[in-house]
Chain A
Amino acid sequence: MEILSFLLDGFALAFEPLNLGLVILGVILGLFIGAMPGLGSVNGVAILLPMTYLVPPTSAVIFLGAIYYGAMYGGAISSIMLGIPGASTAVATTFDGRPMALKGKGDLALVAAATASFVGGSISVVLFTLFAPPLADVALAFSAPEDFALMLLAFATFIGLGGDDIPKTFFSIFIGLVLSTVGLDIISGEPRLIFMGLPGFMHGINFLVLAIGIYGIGEMLWTIETTKGTMEITHANITFRRIGKAILSLKSGIKTMVMSSFLGYFVGILPAAGATPGALMAYGIAKGTSKDPESFGKGNVKGVLAPEAANNAASTGSMLPMLTLGIPGSPTTAILLGGMVIWGLDPGPMLFVEHKEFVWGLIASLYAANFFALVINLSFIPMFLWVLRMPFTILAPIIFVLCIIGGYAPTQDMHDVWLMLVFGVVGYLMRKLDYPMAPAVLAIVLGPLAETSMRQSLLMSSGSFEIFFFRPISGTIMVIAIFLLILPLLHSFNRMMRHRASRWPL
């Protein structure tokens, strides 16, 4: 019952005119950003974060949270109408959404996506409300060794569950961590890694410089190359009567939506896993448990419901470890976490003690964002379709301008703008060779925390690594992390053994 009264206080904060206005604005912007091919929540949050200095920190986080939510809804629009995922999180939505649109059932697919997103969002926000306070209570007992173990777990999940090339994922994590050590050594205060003696490196590399470089410049370069400016948009016939009918026809999919929401939420909680694998898994399970798996991929509405419910649920899920433990569950929450640190709202269990109003205000605003995203999405579908027709050559230069200014604003140093361009170009060139970039962004955000917690732990134990293993919580987390780190090795060993066995049958 205590939770309920906190939540009511939260609603009072979320419904202050400024915050409510920002929720609605954030949802609309998020819907647009999500609907544009190539841009997703992570790009929107990275590029727009520097603009939020205008409002108080609490409102800024609420605004970014609403963008995150809106983008999850919006991603489905271009997946269905263009057949190009609006964001990586909406990849699975193209599998059945596109065939539906081609069959002239685009309106049903869009309504299904919006409804499923709402169900996923609602279930996950309720789960979030119930889980966050107890988890934060447990986490209050954590100190440096536990923090370090958690960071290691976050990186280990990228390796064990990320599904990208293993050495390249490791490389991405390492380079992100190294970049985070540039500047002054946190313990001795000596200057460190000042490349070519440039004074711009003294203040360190702000995570936003890397995030905007990769998710702004790099992403645009990528989109310009892959789309080459030609996109075919499907026609959809949309009236309010058809929308109403479509919602009623989704009754048979309720089970799929609820199941996918729970799945998405728990996958989202895992650090690094996030909404994309959550949506793909939900799609796989919906197909596997269906009586009619053959119809998937040819325009089965459940193939739209499952991934859309899951990706929204996962985006809320990824906020849970970010707020309670200070470990982001997705690249977007990594950037949010970095932003919160700038604003002096250090994520972690203490947040629930020291900034109670903020936490509950944010949770309440997620309820509000979810509601507005559904309403705005359904009523303005024609407008979003119009946005998709806007030539990319108008959008691209404006986003580049926002990137340049966004790279400058946090530190007000031209050095960082150059660095952002370098990161963007190099990140794009590396991405073309399948180097994953999300781990590097997560690493540059977590780097300073990881290094501090490791060195503090080692100071506590006067230099012995045993401290990480002989404390019950950190020990357990370390064991799981190490298991995840060697999981790919076990896989390849297994494959090798089977390969041998097939060559020399016993």
Chain B
Amino acid sequence: MRRAELLMAAVLAAFSIYLMWKSAELPVGWIPGEGPGGGAFPFWLAVGMLVCTILIIIRWFRRADEPARSTDAYMDEHALVLFALVAGSLAVTIGIIEVAGVYVAIPLFLIFYLRVMGKHHWALIGSIAVATPVILFFFFEIALKITLPKGITETWFYPLYAMFL
């Protein structure tokens, strides 16, 4: 926990500096008679972020707050495996959406999660993996008229569009 606290503060400090540099692309100073320039608001907020992270680092050295004292693991092995599985599978799912669309990615994600994480029966997995995309299609594409990303599978949907839209 202690190491994680310092690492997080350092990463956030670096991010604040990056934000300051990035905001400075617009005028950050005072434009006479008009007030602050376009970059001033984010610039000074990023300065504020940097000051906060410095305070957090100072307190870390003085062991002044809870995570800086704690000797517990930031994530034990079990938590780390769970986190990697969940966050990783989400990232892969969003990646597949980019290529093959939601109607491929979401059933795959549901099958993976329900089987690997939940160890449920195939009958249950099958019904959820089929029902979810069908409900999504009717709710979003037909009722809300929001076209969900389909990637290369777009052409498969032409007959459905013709039928319902």
A and B pair up = yes
Q: Report chain A residues within 8 Å CB of B17.
A: none
Asked if A433 contacts B5 (CB within 8 A), the reply is yes
- Pairwise interchain contact A53-B146, C-beta atoms closer than 8 A: yes
Residue in chain B with minimal CB distance to A417: B94
A414 and B149 in contact, given A192-B26, A193-B42 (Cβ under 8 angstroms): yes
Q: Which residues of A contact B42 (CB under 8 A)?
A: 177-178, 181, 192-193
Q: Are B109 and A401 in contact (CB under 8 A)?
A: yes
Q: Can you report 8 residue pairs joining A to B where beta carbons are below 8 Å apart? A: A174-B52, A192-B25, A193-B42, A221-B83, A396-B86, A397-B110, A417-B97, A434-B65
Min distance, Cβ B141 to any Cβ of chain A, angstroms? 11
- A428 cross-chain contacts in B, Cβ below 8 A: 83
Interface-side segment among A30-38, A164-172, A310-318, A479-487:
A164-172
Q: Which residues of A contact B87 (CB under 8 A)?
A: 221, 421, 425
Binding site for A on B (CB under 8 A): 1, 4-5, 8, 12, 19, 22-23, 25-26, 30, 32-36, 38-39, 41-42, 45-46, 48-49, 52-53, 55-56, 59, 65-67, 74-75, 78-79, 82-83, 86-87, 90-91, 93-94, 97-98, 102, 106, 109-110, 113-114, 117-120, 124, 128, 132, 136, 139-140, 143-144, 146-149
A225 CB contact (under 8 Å) in B83, B120, B136: B83
* Binding site secondary structure of chain B: helix
Q: Which residue of A lies closest to B107 (CB)?
A: A401
B90 and A170 contacting across the interface, CB-CB below 8 Å? no
Assembled-state Cα–Cα distance A418/B32 (Å): 40
What residues of chain A lie closer than 8 Å to B140, measured between beta carbons? 405, 409
Shortest CB distance B19–A (Å): 6
Whole-angstrom CA separation of A175 from B56 in the bound complex: 15
Q: Is the beta-carbon distance between A393 and B118 smaller than 8 angstroms?
A: yes
B80 CB to nearest A CB, Å: 10
A174 to B44, CA, bound (A): 9
A446 vs chain B, min Cβ distance (A): 13
What mask results when residues 422 to 454 of chain A are scored 1 for a CB within 8 Å of chain B, else 0?
A: 000100111011100000000000000001001
CB nearest to A460 among chain B residues: B35
Chain A min CB distance to B147 (Å): 7
Seed contacts A225-B83, A454-B41; 12 additional CB < 8 Å A-B pairs? A171-B53, A175-B49, A195-B22, A391-B118, A393-B114, A400-B86, A404-B97, A412-B147, A414-B98, A421-B91, A421-B94, A433-B4
Contact call B132/A398, Cβ cutoff below 8 A: yes
Say yes or no: is A500 at the interface (Cβ < 8 Å to chain B). no
Q: Give the complex CA separation of A294 and B133 in angstroms.
A: 54
Q: Any chain B CB within 8 A of the CB of A289?
A: no
In the complex with contacts A51-B139, A174-B45, A175-B49, A458-B83 CB distance below 8 A: no
- In the complex, whether A499 has a CB less than 8 A from a CB of chain B is no
1/0 contact trace for A201-244 toward B, CB 8 Å?
Answer: 00000000000000001001100110010000000000000000
Query: Roughly how many angstroms separate A181 CA and B19 CA in the complex, as a whole number?
Result: 11
